[in-house]
Structure 1
């Protein structure tokens, strides 16, 4: 990433003096500040490395015109905040950006091979180079992190002086360490550590073993370098060695919501700061009085009747109006998805709303009847949608989909009333399966046994990674969920070939429950590609029937068969069966479950038992 040229900003007095003296390093897109380089993530800029700072002071640092407020009341209530903020832009006219801190702090010089803390190299002001040989310093390739989100520099001194370190304090020997590569192989055996005190050389081989640091009595120190002045915490999690650029170093915990009626009308945003007062109103007359006070006698953009409808919707979504524990928060999040499913099923015609409406969902033109025996109910075309994705927290070492709340690292040292978020405007197609048919299919012994293997492995992963054994979340793996998830993947792959959208620009939203059997496939990008109409056109009945048949036929064969279809376990933690990158797996940005809980055999069956496949009857026609 190339840093932009330095620029001068006008001060408050109109002069050309910089508004702040902080140096600028590189630039990221707003969406990346949520999904890739969010709080606590490591970001490389040329030959330097930084960690993104927390949001404790960001609300005052980010200017409102560069980091506007995002409104989504339903998601805000679930997450216990009152608003969201879009990360600031990094254009030439921006005054401030996202704050970062240098990390890791240990560097080595490729010229003299010295390995030390960055301050010990005595770099010239404004430059990151070795004072002795003028070579640019290279940040440490290795860091240590734990499942609770703590991260620190790799303990090179302890790793090299194992068994010879006296009291165990870094620098006890008084020597100078060096790091070099022998160049014989590309493995860690060629990365060699040495010290001028005379201890034998040690390679980095074995440092990535799960218990490598624990065997040397190296414990997690509870460091949180992304939070300013954060104290060290007592941590019982074993530290793990990671590559600085590994995806395991940072994974976002995202929560998202679709704007659905009555909240999808942009005129409602004018009331966002006044709902606490409006919830005390019991009659239309009281609501009208409050509206006159809120808008200082000017006409209200929202009528009292609409306000009462919004209050009723708010009460239905959160009847207690109180914040509960994290488990209750997850329950409210599932209830939020239930309401989205209901609205996607009922629709919201374009001619029934105002021009400020952000959610338009209609059945296809014509009779909308799919061919009999396809297994799908008539689809819904979501011609306009808005999704808000908020960065709730992040995880390290483990992926967020299989983590418990206890492993989520906080974005700030003190609680804040807001979270960073982004919004996506796009389109999509909502598909529903025939529930009577899917229930009959799910009762087949072979189907139940196959999904039970997935559920058992996933539940075991959840139990191993749970911070509290008494609060292990149940695995969502059911025949209905696994079928919908796999169907969404093959349809995204099919539409990426047929409609011209790349697979990474499409995203799934699974609705699987006792009374839900649907999947929304929609555009996942925040640019104009999300509103060109190409995806909605794929939902017309004639095209949809052809696409489903083509996707099922394409899923019948994988280039990794017969190994793929006959595998007993695959995927991270063994949570997949017949699924690989050659058939149904998608880019990580497109999948809600990190490419887990997939089984292609549930769609097309196996050579030994074709009846397992829900759509296997399409292969014989």
Structure 2
């Protein structure tokens, strides 16, 4: 194994973002905080080089997060690329390794089962990661590990149990306290010799931690109960934040940490904020002005708030921009008017409404279509039943999506955590980790008239009301605000899943490479009833165009027809279609892995709030579905 492991640049934001645990062969590391990122540690003269290659520009999203987080966010940075090995030449100055810390710190020897605490900054090749235990193996009289030749001593493996709290803190499992939690007096932690054995018992009862110094032992049975660590010498969460280094510990209001497995899905929930780059922010001149280095240079040449025109003309020529457009945009931004004005809203509905209008609005000028290009289709060119169900079809030939990590939680997802996120750095930064991806998509706008009639049906209200009652019960149990869902949201979300599954089959895309973006609102000021199905890849050239082609007349209507036909039959029927609640917290009705669920990366709702009946009805009553009354 190489000392430097590799992963894709986007994976440094999600799923291996700050605070996440990543497993390598015989290694368990945690992504370090922003304070240790190459940009923060670089010499001031080197920072412009890193910005050139790693900076992600999305002024609209930066303004939104500034208002949402209550502090200025100037830009986003993607993880730096790994440095090239240049034996005879000048290395890339903008490349550097991404930082990690060792976690968990407790390791065990796979040969003698001895437990050892390893410091967080122990290098991979360190002898500290080999077993030097002088004790003999419990199962025989073989030589102890300390007497083996240095290169034959076993490498220590990280333990698979840790403890975490809902505030995002995480700590090593208290092995000494757990082993000595019986009635026998505990020996000192400094002298205790702990071993982690596996017995023939089933499950966690077969994993036993034993102190050979005093003979105390205890199995891991019951360790995962909510209050399992209460009453020991762990009265409350110590507030450890190992991703921030030794100075990251803070006071924690959590009563007691909970035991989890190191690689469990609830060990890390990233809080991502995404945005589609739309006009006028997608214009090249606006993206240039959104770069802090260029804007700071421009403002340094202003006098009483007025720009220095000769400097702006020279700057525009150097950047390859039209002089008049560049000067006009600078004046607009300095005056606080126009597209560059700072947005103070944090409402997701209003934010998405701007994107919703961009899809159905005028096509951008030819020179401004590099990051956003659309083509509206006449729904009259599709089959009649399709034109009854949808008001508009827009083929998004080019789009750019920015995804930014704003924090994370553990044990429960961010939405269920009440908004409390673990910090990414010791002190707030004026930047956040993120990355930009390009792709293409299909935008569908539902018929508002037909949707209103469907939402008013008593059967529709009953199905949505059942899910709403379940949402209310869960919110009350957790002390969280009650989320309100509408028939339109349930329908459009469920239909998006059915469409993605069919598109993946017909286009050849893997379903995990297709994503949904929902635009649903009954707010009179921001009415929305649409969805965007798109593919966004990490490649700078985007995708091959197959998805857009599938949205043309004669293809999309056939795809939707096939999606609805396949949704009418599920291998789990009649259990699935008659279900009154399934999935996590019973927040799905007629939706399971066989008919409607998608990879989690494709769904905005975590594969919840789904019901194919609202789309296709039931075998006995197709009219219950939005498309059930449409002649296909």
Whether these two folds match at TM > 0.5 is yes
Give the structure 1 partner of residue 511 of structure 2.
503
Aligned residues: 576
The superposition leaves residues 302-340 of structure 1 with CA deviations (integer Å, 9 ceiling, x where unpaired) of 34444567754447772x5xxxxxxx63x1x43221100
Q: Describe how 1:104-123 pairs up with structure 2 within 5 A.
A: 104-118=104-118
Runs of 5+ consecutive residues of structure 2 not aligned to the other structure: 67-72, 86-91, 134-144, 146-152
TM-aligned CA deviation for residue 442 of structure 1: 0.8
Separation in 2, partners of 1:529, 1:206: 52
For the residue of structure 1 that corresponds to 2:237, the secondary structure is coil
Separation in 2, partners of 1:37, 1:124: 23
Q: Describe how 1:173-322 pairs up with structure 2 within 5 A.
A: 174-185=191-202, 187-214=203-230, 216=232, 218-228=235-245, 229-272=247-290, 273=292, 289-290=307-308, 292-294=310-312, 299=317, 301=322, 302-307=325-330, 312-314=337-339, 318=343
TM-aligned CA deviation for residue 360 of structure 1: 0.3
The equivalent position to 2:159 in structure 1, one of 140, 161, 174, is 140
Say if 1:165 and 1:172, in contact at 8 Å, map to a contact too. Answer: no
For the residue of structure 2 that corresponds to 1:213, the secondary structure is coil
Residues 1:61 and 2:74 aligned together:
no
Q: Describe how 1:93-492 pairs up with structure 2 within 5 A.
A: 93=85, 95-118=95-118, 125-126=126-127, 128-132=129-133, 133=145, 134-164=153-183, 171-172=188-189, 174-185=191-202, 187-214=203-230, 216=232, 218-228=235-245, 229-272=247-290, 273=292, 289-290=307-308, 292-294=310-312, 299=317, 301=322, 302-307=325-330, 312-314=337-339, 318=343, 329=346, 331=347, 333-348=348-363, 352-354=365-367, 357-364=370-377, 368-372=381-385, 374-406=388-420, 408-465=421-478, 469=479, 472-492=480-500
The superposition leaves residues 543-576 of structure 1 with CA deviations (integer Å, 9 ceiling, x where unpaired) of 1111111111111111111111122211222221
Say if 2:475 and 2:481, in contact at 8 Å, map to a contact too. Answer: yes
Give the structure 2 partner of residue 517 of structure 1.
529
The equivalent position to 1:75 in structure 2, one of 56, 61, 76, is 61
- Cα distance change on mapping 1:426 and 1:122 into 2, 3 Å: closer
TM-aligned CA deviation for residue 342 of structure 1: 0.7
Say if 2:285 and 2:329, in contact at 8 Å, map to a contact too. Answer: no
- Cα distance change on mapping 1:126 and 1:354 into 2, 3 Å: farther
The superposition leaves residues 196-252 of structure 1 with CA deviations (integer Å, 9 ceiling, x where unpaired) of 144453211221122322365642111101012113313224322111111211121
- Cα distance change on mapping 1:501 and 1:156 into 2, 3 Å: same
- Cα distance change on mapping 1:280 and 1:553 into 2, 3 Å: farther
Separation in 2, partners of 1:616, 1:97: 55
Give the structure 1 partner of residue 607 of structure 2.
595
- Cα distance change on mapping 1:304 and 1:463 into 2, 3 Å: farther
For the residue of structure 2 that corresponds to 1:378, the secondary structure is strand
TM-aligned CA deviation for residue 122 of structure 1: 13
Say if 1:161 and 1:199, in contact at 8 Å, map to a contact too. Answer: no
The equivalent position to 2:624 in structure 1, one of 609, 612, 617, is 612
Give the structure 2 partner of residue 16 of structure 1.
none
For the residue of structure 1 that corresponds to 2:501, the secondary structure is helix
Separation in 2, partners of 1:523, 1:86: 20
Separation in 2, partners of 1:425, 1:124: 39
- Cα distance change on mapping 1:608 and 1:355 into 2, 3 Å: closer
Give the structure 2 partner of residue 494 of structure 1.
502
For the residue of structure 2 that corresponds to 1:495, the secondary structure is helix
The equivalent position to 1:85 in structure 2, one of 77, 89, 100, is 77
Separation in 1, partners of 2:182, 2:408: 36
Residues 1:32 and 2:51 aligned together:
no
- Cα distance change on mapping 1:477 and 1:126 into 2, 3 Å: farther
Separation in 1, partners of 2:84, 2:200: 43
- Cα distance change on mapping 1:494 and 1:123 into 2, 3 Å: closer
Separation in 2, partners of 1:449, 1:383: 39
